[in-house]
Every structure is written in C-alpha cells, then in structure tokens.
Structure 1
Amino acid sequence: MSDVDEPELPRGVALAWGIAANPQRGPKREMSVERIVEAAVEIADADGLAAVSMAAVAAKLGFTPMSLYRYVSAKDDLVLLMQEEATGAPSDASRAAGDWREQLEALYREQLHNYLQHPWVLDVPITGVPATPNSAAWMDAGLHALAGTGLTHEERLAVMLLVTGTAHWAGTVMAGYARTQRERGFDDQSIASAEDALFRTLITADAYPDLREAIDAGVFLDESDPFSFSLARGLDGVADFIAEAQRDPARATAREPWGAPADAEIAGDKKFREAQKAVRDAERMLRVARKAERQAAREARDRHARQRAEG
C-alpha cells in the first residue's frame, strides 16, 4: 500500500505515532503535544481523570484553552495520549525474564505497577484496543513470550488477555483500597477488620451457609494475594494446554523457528540471550526509523499541498 492509499488516522492515534501534521504557528515555542500531555498526566496523578480538562491543562501551562486545540483538537485524543504516556512500554527485562511463564508474570507485575502509579488510567473508558505504540508493545511482548509454545496466534492473544485482564482487575481493586486508605486514614488491617465485622453481622449461616463458613474461617482477614493465586492457576491451565499442543503433530506449523525456544537450557544460554537482545534493539531502531519516515512523508505532503495552494 502506498502513502497515498493509507487510511486517514484519527488525530489522537496519529499523534501517538508521531505522524500528525504539526501546527504551522504556535502561541509560544514552549508549547508542544508532549508538554500538554505531561501537564495533563500531572493533573490526573494529583486529582484524578475527572479533573483533566482543556481549560485546566491550559491554566497549568499558562496558555489559553484555544491555544491547546491547535495541538490536541479533542479531549478524547488527549486522554488517549495520556494513557499512552502513563502505561509506557514493557521493559527489556520482562522480555528476557526466562521461559514463557516467567515473562508473562513479569509483564503482569509491570502492568499492575503502572496501574498503581497512575490509577486514573483504570477510569479511561474501554472502547476497543488502543492502536498506539505502547499498547502494541505490550501485546507484542506477550505474544513474544508465547512464541514457539505450539499455540496458535489466536490462543496466544487469548492468554495475553488473561494476563492483562487480571492486572486490570487487580489494579482496580488495589487502587480502590488505596484510595480508601488515603481518604479515611485506614491501614490494610483496619479495612480488613471492618469488612470482617460487617460480614459477620450481616451474613447468617441459615441464609448463606457457605459464605458464613468462609467468614468463620477468616477469609476476609487473610493476607494472601488472591490475584496472584488466580493468575498462577490460570497459567497452570495454559501450561497443561501447551503440553498437549506440543504433543499434537497437527500443531507443528504453529511453532516459528525464530520464536522463543521451549528448551529452557537454550533459552538461558548467554550468547542466545545476547542475540535476542540484539534483535530487539534492531527492531526498536527500525520502529524509530519508520516513524521518522512516516513523519517526513507527512511533512512533505503538507509542503507540496501548500506549494500547490500558493501557486
């Protein structure tokens, strides 16, 4: 497909990929999309997503709201860019954490950490998969972990959704409890004790026998992490499924020779890991070069359009 045939991207997506045309004139040299997004993230980190508005961001930067619209034309685009900035990209360490399971567990921990650092991201409405560089990087890292396992591409994506879904739900619950702690001055033990007391008062053995049995066993006072347990049991099932898939000759074509090998001894070889890192570095440089190429092409088309209009 040629540049001329490329679909018109939504403004926010184009900004995220660095291929949107920049304003020809700006109010001041200090203004930029990056600075606007940075200011918006600072507001959201301090006061939540609801506190973010074009007026609030403009006031923080010392400009008028209209000046922002020259760079980010809609709040939805701004929120998309904020989400892209806050979630970041997975670390190289997560992609080299070990076998497929260790890599997925590392991705889960990193995603959960990001949610707890920027809990307002959990309030962003889900309207589909964000088509942005960092969201693509998270999906790519999960699929990379499962390459060579014998799973089909659809199955790998489903496993990745298990990991990201658990991280999202864990972040939602943990961020909610953290907010309660800040607002009410409670600690973990105080919250657990209050919940336990409430359930002991309301839940009777006659009406809810199994729940009451769990309460009497101290389930609401337990300090273990239910989300890590759930993820571990889910990945146990994935491991069993992979073992079955690898024994199925019909699935042999699902294993790419360039994927992460199932042999843990090979995966841990120093030279092999160095080669993997070199490939990742080359892929990253290629993405940067392609982004620069797209930006240059867009700017060239803009110049030619202005020249035609002036001529």
Structure 2
Amino acid sequence: MSEIEQTPVELPRGIALAWGVAANPQRGPKREMSVERIVETAVELADREGIGAVSMAAVAKKLGFTPMSLYRYVSAKDDLLLLMQEEATGLPPEEHRTADGWRRALEVLFRAQVEIYLRHPWILALPIAGSPITPNSSAWLDAALGALAETPLAPSERLAVALAVTGQARWCGIVNAGYSEAARADGLAPEEVAAREAALFDAVIDADGYPALRGAIDAGVFLDEADPFRFGLARLLDGVEGYIARLDRGEPPASEGGWIELDDADVLEDKRYRAAAKASRDAQKALVAAEKALRQARRAQAQALKEARERAAR
C-alpha cells in the first residue's frame, strides 16, 4: 500500500460539517444554537438581499447572537458559503429515478438544476474551487452517473456527459437569473428586457462589421420565443445518443480530433517544431491585433459618417 493510501484524509471543516462528522463546539451560547439554524438563516438572507448581504455579523444579528457565537459552530465564512450552497442545492428530484431512459432522466435533472439557480441565484456568484464534496452535491452527480449506468459509455465518458449537462444548466441559470434581476431592478417584464436588448443590438451592429450577427438580428433571433438552452441540451443529448448507438453496433467511436496532443519530449524540443509553433503563436497575435484595428477603424468610420450626416442636416 502506498504512503498516500496509508495516510488518513483529514476533511476540511466545512466538508466535515456538511457530512455531520465535525466535532461539536465545547462551549456555546446559552440559548439554542446549531449549524442548521445558522445556515438556514444565511440562506434566507441571501435569497432576500443577495450574497453580498451575507456576513457572519449579519447572520449573527438575525439570530440575536454575537458573531463570536457563530464562530464556535462555523469557523470561517468560506465554510458558511459551502454549507449554504449545500442547503440551497438540496437533493435531486425523485422523478429522475422513474424516468423513461437515461435521456429523460438527464432532462429531469437539468430542469431541476435550473430551477434551483432561479430560486437561489446567489449560488451562481459563488466561486468554483473544485467539486463541492458534500452530501447533496454528491447526490446530484450520483444521480447523473446513475442515469447513464446501463449505457455502454465508459465511466469517464459518463462523467463527461454529467458535467456537460450540469454546465449547460448552470449557463442557462446564469442567463435567466440575469434577465430576471434586470427585470426586477428596472421594473420591466422579462420580455421587455429582451426587447430592450434587441433594440440595443439593432442600434450598434452593422452588416459591414458583423455580417452574421446582423443577419441574426434581422431574422429576429433576440425576440424569438424559442428556448435556445432547451435546443442546446437536445442537440447535446442527440450527440450522446448517436455515440451510444455506435457503441451498441460495435463500431469504433469517431475520432474526436481538433487537438494537438504531444507527449513526446523529443518532439517538443525539436528546433523546427518549436520554430513552427512560435510562428503560429506570432501569427495568431498578429491576427488578433489586426482584427482589433479593423474594429476600431470601422467604429471611427461609423462615427465620421454620423457626424457628416449631422453637419449636412444643419
């Protein structure tokens, strides 16, 4: 057995609290206090006022205790944020267990994840520092992997699909929560926010500088009621379904391609390869600079045209 395997893993305090294996405080306030009460109060505060309003002092005030009382139970704000995320995330819906097939199960999980982000948008503002190894978060990952358990996908491929669906749900949550917040702040309906955004695009995007985007604007994509995230998820799952079908037929999966992977140190040190790689990087930098200069020139041209028309109209 390796030295790493022999060394016991010490759980960080926040993770230990989430799993209920952290040591209880030796002393505490006379009135009833618990980690659960602290976390529930913090979640309520974040839901009502945003994550920026959450501090140990603010939570303590809501509970009627001093901040030092809280630190006996939750020793750091980062631990509190982790526990808040765990509380707000909850467990995956039971519906995924009875869903008809892996695809339907993943769709159920996707929808439920988006709903969590809309109920608790502050979760989206929390930094991602690796996988949250907590009971509820682990249950969500387990649910997605379980949905794919009967497929011929390799374990690493099941994880990749689970992460792709989770990422799509998070992106959907970010955009929809942002629109909801903008609507709330400005007193507008979500469709009014979308209309305002479409008008702004229409005002600044021209066919010369952004021909494809201009075409999309003219086609009314920003006012289309179709859900782009549902479409994106469907196409993602179509791809997984097609991949699984190839495996079921015994066909080798199509090459992923597109990436240059070099593990040979001799190749990486080859002078001609290094020179070619440098030339490629330099060309890419030059292309970025040229595109930036082109955008600036077009903006200057548009401004000059606007000013010329204003002078002609006087």
TM-score range, shorter chain: 0.7 to 0.9
Q: Which amino acid aligns with 1:217?
A: A
Q: Deviations for 1:81-138, whole angstroms, at most 9, x for unmatched residues?
A: 0000000110211222110000000000010001100000001100000110011101
Aligned to 1:215: 217
Aligned to 1:302: none
CA contact (8 A) 2:246 2:252 kept: no
Q: Distance in 1 between matches of 2:198 and 2:25?
A: 57
Q: Does 2:151 correspond to 1:178?
A: no
Which of 180, 193, 197 is the equivalent residue of 2:199? Answer: 197
Q: Deviations for 1:219-246, whole angstroms, at most 9, x for unmatched residues?
A: 1110111011000000000000011112
CA shift for structure 1 position 188: 2.3
Q: Which runs of 4+ in 1 moved over 4 A?
A: none
Query: Please, which moves more after superposition, 194-203 or 178-187?
Result: 194-203
Which of 74, 83, 101 is the equivalent residue of 2:103? Answer: 101
Aligned to 2:246: 244
Aligned to 2:146: 144
- Local SS of the residue matching 2:22: coil
Which of 63, 73, 76 is the equivalent residue of 1:74? Answer: 76
CA shift for structure 1 position 29: 4.1
Q: Distance in 1 between matches of 2:37 and 2:192?
A: 41
TM-score by length of 1: 0.77
Aligned to 1:255: none
Q: Distance in 1 between matches of 2:249 and 2:111?
A: 31
Query: Please, which moves more after superposition, 18-27 or 116-125?
Result: 18-27
Q: Distance in 1 between matches of 2:98 and 2:40?
A: 30
Aligned to 2:234: 232
Q: Structure 1 residues 125 and 247 mapped into 2: Cα distance closer, same or farther (>3 Å)? A: same
Q: Which has the higher contact order (CA 8 A, sep 6+)?
A: 1
- Local SS of the residue matching 1:72: coil
Q: Structure 1 residues 250 and 186 mapped into 2: Cα distance closer, same or farther (>3 Å)? A: closer
CA contact (8 A) 2:50 2:122 kept: yes
Q: Distance in 1 between matches of 2:132 and 2:34?
A: 22
Which of 32, 35, 41 is the equivalent residue of 2:34? Answer: 32
Write out aligned runs for 1:159-170 (5 A): 159-170=161-172
Aligned to 2:56: 54
Percent identity of equivalent pairs: 64
Count of residue pairs the alignment pairs up: 249
Q: Deviations for 1:183-219, whole angstroms, at most 9, x for unmatched residues?
A: 1011122112211211111111122111111111111
Q: Which amino acid aligns with 1:79?
A: L
Query: Please, which moves more after superposition, 93-102 or 164-173?
Result: 93-102
Q: Structure 1 residues 64 and 213 mapped into 2: Cα distance closer, same or farther (>3 Å)? A: same
Q: Deviations for 1:35-78, whole angstroms, at most 9, x for unmatched residues?
A: 00001001100111111100000000000000100000000000
Larger radius of gyration: 2
- Local SS of the residue matching 2:30: coil
Q: Distance in 1 between matches of 2:150 and 2:252?
A: 14
Aligned to 2:86: 84
TM-score by length of 2: 0.77
